[in-house]
Amino acid sequence: MPNKTIYVSDKDLPLYDRAQELAGGNLSKAIAKALRKYVEAEEGRLAGYDEITVKVGYGPARKRRRQRFVGVKLGEWGRGDSKRAEICRVYRSRTGKYVIHTERTPDVKHDKSETGWRGALGMGEQTWAIGPEEGTLEVVDTLEELKEKVPAELYEMVAAAGEAPPVEDLDI
């Protein structure tokens, strides 16, 4: 097995010691795992992809779990009414799959007590703030599968963006 010598500064020594401890005494294993993750992230970044973290599950954002992947956002669509909002985002993962992340707010109850003609028509000034209560993540392999899962407007956007490479290098 080949040997590699790594020089560690005094200030970084506690980091290496902790990594070795977490890897069950095998520092080489810890370094190889970290380097694999680093190389994957950098190759993705160079190809135009980003590390994306989304929240999924139900309840307040702080209680939902986070899921992370490497991808590029292809489109975003939203709709809302006086009671609820929904946002749907589609990403292409580094492996070529389509990732659908949907967030929905809980039902909103707000006061339309504005007086005058604006209040009568429900057009008075209204202010509220609310975060998503539900987040879902779904992965599909093809555009055909995606078409069945997202609104038509979003699908058209994604289909057009899906044909283009994530990064176009310009020689300018």
- Residue 115 binned pLDDT confidence (cut-offs 50, 70, 90): low
Alpha-carbon Rg for the chain, nearest whole angstrom, is 23
Average pLDDT, the chain: 83
Mean pLDDT of 131-139: 85
Q: Give 60-71 pLDDT, tens digit per residue.
A: 767 788 999 989
Mean pLDDT of 44-56: 87
Q: Does pTM top 0.95 for this prediction?
A: no
CB proximity list for 97: less than 8 A, separation 6 or greater: 139, 140, 141
Closest by CA to 101, choosing from 74, 121, 131, 126, is 74
pLDDT for the residue numbered 147: 95
